Chains A and B, each alone.
Chain A
Amino acid sequence: MITTTNLSKSYNGVTVLNIENLDIPKGQSFGLVGNNGAGKTTYFSLLLDLIQPTTGHIKNNNVLVSESEDWKPFTSAFIDETFLIGYLTAEEYFYFIGELRGQNKQEVDAILAQFEDFFHGEILKQKKYLRDLSKGNQKKAGIVAALIGNPEVIILDEPFANLDPTTQIRLKGIIKDLAKTQGVTVLVSSHDLLHVTDVCERIVVLEKGEVIKDLATSEATLKELEAHFSGVTES
């Protein structure tokens, strides 16, 4: 589904990302881990054509993302609060995204109904604009908006950060379900190794912009990752 070839990004001669080859097949739940500055958000931003690659390219379903915009209809993302429209209520925001993705009100309502327990009564019918919600609740709204319109690729940057434990567990259920039963390709980045190993079939470790581990998740993965990262911090 997503093919990355010779991709690199440098700022003023400093390379922050350099991926020779990375293939993410359709329906995979893909996890990206790495310390700060490892290049996770840079990779996602390149994937969404928010920044330009220095060399190489990414193909999303055979669409060259830096050249064509045809990847947009089947790709959705929540990176940070710049994906929220602060002066809308959560409902209005969902409907707006829905309209952009060709979903009418009833269809959006049907999707939202599935997430009632995820919202925990704090998002819908709140008489509050998104800008006035807490960071955690903003994140919930952004994540759910990324699920509207039957996207085939969903990109979530640090989805677990800022969420309360209950919501983290529910979100893990949602992501697993998307990949397993609906064949959606889900890309997740996280600092939380436990969550990532729990959710993702495959985990890639980035360090200083390079892929240094590419693991199919198994019982031993968490241990391996923990060993790796404690080594990284010691050296």
Chain B
Amino acid sequence: MLKHFISLEWKSFFRSASFKVNLVLKIFMIIGAFFMLLYAVGIGIGAYFIIEEFVDPNPLKVINKYLIFYLAVDLVIRYFLQKMPIVNIKPLLYLPLQKNQIVSFGINKTIISFFNILHGFFFIPFSIVLILKGGHEFVNVLGWHLALLGLFFCNNFINIFVNSKDVVFYSIIGILITLGGLIYYDIFDITVYSAPIFQAFFDRPYLAIIPLVLAFVLYKMAFSYFRKNFYLDAGLAKKVDIAETDNMSWLDRFGSVSTFLKNDIKLIKRNKRSKTTVIMSVVFIFYGLLFFTGAVEVYDGPFWRVFAGIFISGGFLFSFGQFVPSWDSAYYPLMMSQNIRYKEYLESKWYLMVIATIASTLLASFYLYFGWQAYAAVVVGAIYNIGVNSHVVLWGGAYIKTPIDLTSNKKAFGDKKAFNVKTLLLTIPKLVLPMIIYAVGHFIQGEMLGFVLVAVFGLFGFLFKNKVFEIIEKIYKAEKYKTLAAYKQNN
């Protein structure tokens, strides 16, 4: 039976539309993953010596202190990047398969995920060094190690729940930020309470049984949750929304573009996937806090300001823009057989991104608190985003042929993230260039010239809008048949 499931998964993976298109990206991702593992091993071995040398003679104590955040960040990263087991359940429902088997296969699949193995590459070498170099007892280290193993699997199963409930996720993020802030301002230090817990696993190795049992309980809970909702009218049911009609006549001032603009705003408002994108862009506004508060030392260099500025103002631009025209994938044949003016279609998406960028910039005005340079970076970043990145993003999007399932709740285990590894990779060129431009100005004269240069580049890019739109239009026409075929194949 397991053999059948595995072959189904194998086929669905290798026969998916996105796999062929993104083979090059896949290779890059594999190389990236390989280096991450290499680094993890390196850090795992090196961490002990680095901490011993520079921070504290007892590295285990330091690690224990920050483990709580390590675990929390792990959960957040999983939420974004770890794909949930996509077992296409509906066709399996009325086959002579035991429901338990289907559910447990879906959950078991997550256990062997990269996100679990990755930690092994850090903690196994670290534990070995602890024994060999640190002179700690084998049994103690083993207990501590197993306890952590249990905790990571807890995260794994928690993520299965959280993945279908955005509320849980945002509360975790909220708690994380609050706790971090409280420590930073010396008000309340959670690590004072959490560190002894992790220390206890070391001191009394038999306690490791607790997280392991906890992981097992969470596994059972995840199992029974999906088992119980394994019906077409329960967990697998489509949620029916109560429709609201909105004429949005205030958008008529945009003229002929308003037809599409109204549609796009409805698209964002009424679909789960696009709503996630909007919330993501709000989170991006606060991303700059890491840079301007000096919370993270590596980010203290002046060029990082521009990096932050681009991200703060451009969260929506990046996460929405790169999936134009995939947002319309569900009804692309309609669009292609209707009398559509590509320019207006693109312009509507462009207006949306511009409006969102300006709104983010206004919302981010609190960065003035960190000095004029901080906010100048945001404003300059916004100009660059509108002038250059909006075009680059739309241009790149024309090649992305991943159909988007707007109503992700169709699939109980569905992969629903508008934000994935591919996205991150594509973002790099849009960020590096402005940093270089700023650096040039910064070294010639100073920060003022740096900011001005980036802004000038942004304004300059603005001039190419029509040209770029023409190019994109050509791509759309040239790729039309391929795009239609790819969108048809919605996994």
With A96-B259, A128-B243: A84-B484 Cβ-Cβ less than 8 Å: no
A131 CA to B142 CA, complexed, in Å: 54
Residues of A contacting B243 with CB < 8 Å?
A: 89, 126-129, 132
Q: Is the CB of B336 within 8 A of A50?
A: yes
Q: Is A115 an interface residue (CB 8 A)?
A: no
Minimal beta-carbon separation of A175 from chain B (angstroms) = 19
A153-185 contact mask (Cβ, 8 Å, vs B): 1 or 0: 000000000000000000000000000000000
Residue on B nearest A130 in the bound complex, by CB: B243
The residue on B at minimum CB distance from A96 is B263
Which residues of chain B come closer than 8 Å to A116, judged between CB atoms?
A: none
B333-A83 in contact (CB<8A): yes
A72 to B485, CA, bound (A): 20
- On whether the beta carbons of A49 and B334 are closer than 8 Å, the reply is no
Please give the distance in Å from A86's CB to the nearest CB on chain B: 6
Is A59 in contact with chain B by the CB < 8 A criterion?
A: no
Contact among B271, B406, B407, B484 for A51, CB-based, below 8 A = B484
Pairwise interchain contact A132-B267, C-beta atoms closer than 8 A? no
List the A side residues contacting B245 at CB < 8 Å.
89, 91-92
The complex places the Cα of A101 from the Cα of B406 at a distance, in Å, of 26
- Whether a CB of chain B sits under 8 angstroms from the CB of A75 is yes
**With a CB–CB cut-off of 8 A, which chain A residues contact B334?**
82-85
B338 contacts A by Cβ under 8 Å: yes
State A94–B478 Cα separation when bound (angstroms): 29
Decide yes or no whether A100 CB sits under 8 A from chain B.
yes
Task: Check B7 for interface membership: any CB of A closer than 8 A.
Answer: no
Interface check A38, CB cutoff 8 A: no
B55 contacts partner chain A, Cβ-Cβ < 8 Å? no
Number of interface residues of B (CB under 8 A): 31
Query: Would you call B254 an interface residue if the criterion is a C-beta within 8 Å of the partner chain's C-beta atoms?
Result: no
B184-216: CB near A (< 8 Å → 1, else 0) gives: 000000000000000000000000000000000
- Docked Cα-Cα span, A145 to B333, in Å, equals 14
Q: Does A79 contact B (CB under 8 A)?
A: yes
Residue on A nearest B269 in the bound complex, by CB: A87
B242 in contact (CB, < 8 A): yes
| 8 A Cβ contacts from B40-78 to A | none
Are A86 and B339 neighbours in the complex by a CB distance under 8 Å? no
Contact flags (1/0) for B12-50 with A, using CB distance below 8 Å? 000000000000000000000000000000000000000
Q: Is A221 an interface residue (CB 8 A)?
A: no
Tell me the chain A residues, 135-157 only, with Cβ under 8 Å from chain B. Answer: none
Does the CB pair B337–A49 fall under 8 Å?
A: yes
- Tell me, yes or no, whether B240 is within 8 Å of chain A by CB: yes
* Closest Cβ–Cβ distance, residue A154 to chain B (whole Å): 12
**What's the nearest-Cβ distance from chain A to residue B391, in Å?**
24
Contacts of B242 in A (CB 8 A): 127-128
- Which of B238, B333, B481, B485 makes the CB contact (< 8 A) with A82? B333
How many A-B Cβ pairs are below 8 Å? 85
Contact digits for B447-488, partner A, Cβ 8 Å, 1 yes 0 no: 000000000000000000000000000000000010011011
Q: Are A73 and B331 in contact (CB under 8 A)?
A: no
Cross-chain contact of A48 among B271, B337, B340, B488 (Cβ < 8 A): B337
The chain A residue with its CB closest to the CB of B330 is A86
| B240 contacts A52, C-beta separation under 8 Å | no
Q: Is B297 an interface residue (CB 8 A)?
A: no
State whether A97 touches B270 (Cβ < 8 A). Answer: no
Given A82-B332, A85-B331, A86-B407: A129 in contact with B270 (beta carbons within 8 A): yes
Interface residues of B in 250-296 (CB under 8 A from A): 259, 262-263, 266-267, 270-271
CA distance A100 to B266 in the complex (A): 17
List residues of chain A with CB within 8 A of the CB of B233. none
Task: For B407, list chain A residues within 8 Å (CB).
Answer: 86-87, 131
Q: Does A99 touch B at the CB level, under 8 Å?
A: yes
Chain A residue at smallest Cβ distance from B488: A82
In the complex, the answer to whether B259 meets A99 with C-beta atoms within 8 Å is yes
Contact A132 B241 (CB under 8 A): yes
Residue of B nearest to A86 (CB): B330
Inter-subunit contact A51/B337 (CB<8 Å): no
How far is it, in angstroms, between the C-alpha of A52 and the C-alpha of B477 when the chains are bound?
12
Closest residue of chain B to A125 (Cβ to Cβ) is B245
Whether, in the assembled complex, A216 has its beta carbon less than 8 Å from a beta carbon of chain B, the answer is no
Closest B residue by C-beta to A87: B270
Contact of B331 among A83, A99, A100 (CB under 8 A): A83
CB distance from B345 to the nearest CB of A (A): 10
Given A88, A129, A132, which contacts B263 in the complex, CB threshold below 8 Å? A88
Check: A17 CB closer than 8 A to any chain B CB: no
Is the CB–CB distance between B240 and A128 below 8 Å? yes
Contact A86 B406 (CB under 8 A): yes
Indicate the member of B266, B267, B488 with the most A CB atoms within 10 Å. Answer: B266
Residues in A whose Cβ lies below 8 Å from that of B271:
87
Instruction: Specify which of A79, A100, A132 is in contact with B338 (CB 8 Å cutoff).
Output: A100
- CB neighbours of B485 from chain A (8 A): 51
For A102-118 the 0/1 string (1 means CB < 8 A from B) is 00000000000000000
Q: Does A203 contact B (CB under 8 A)?
A: no
Q: Which of A72, A84, A86, A96 contacts B337 (CB 8 A)?
A: A72
Question: Would you give the shortest CB distance from B42 to chain A, in whole angstroms?
Answer: 48
Separation in Å of the B219 CB from the closest CB of chain A? 34
Name the residue on B nearest A85 (C-beta).
B331
Give min CB distance, A29 to chain B, whole Å.
Answer: 20
**A50 in contact with B337 (CB, 8 Å):** yes
Name 24 A/B residue pairs within 8 A (Cβ), A-sorted: A48-B337, A50-B484, A51-B481, A77-B337, A82-B330, A82-B332, A82-B333, A82-B488, A83-B331, A87-B270, A87-B271, A88-B263, A92-B245, A96-B259, A96-B262, A100-B259, A100-B338, A100-B339, A101-B338, A126-B243, A127-B242, A128-B240, A129-B241, A132-B241
Given contact pairs A80-B333, A96-B263, A127-B243, a sample of 4 additional A-B residue pairs in the complex whose CB atoms are under 8 Å apart: A83-B333, A84-B331, A97-B338, A126-B243
Listed in ascending order, the chain B residues whose CB lies under 8 Å from chain A are: 238, 240-245, 259, 262-263, 266-267, 270-271, 330-334, 336-340, 406-407, 481, 484-485, 487-488
- List the 4 shortest-distance A-B pairs measured between CB atoms, nearest first: A87-B270, A83-B334, A72-B339, A48-B337
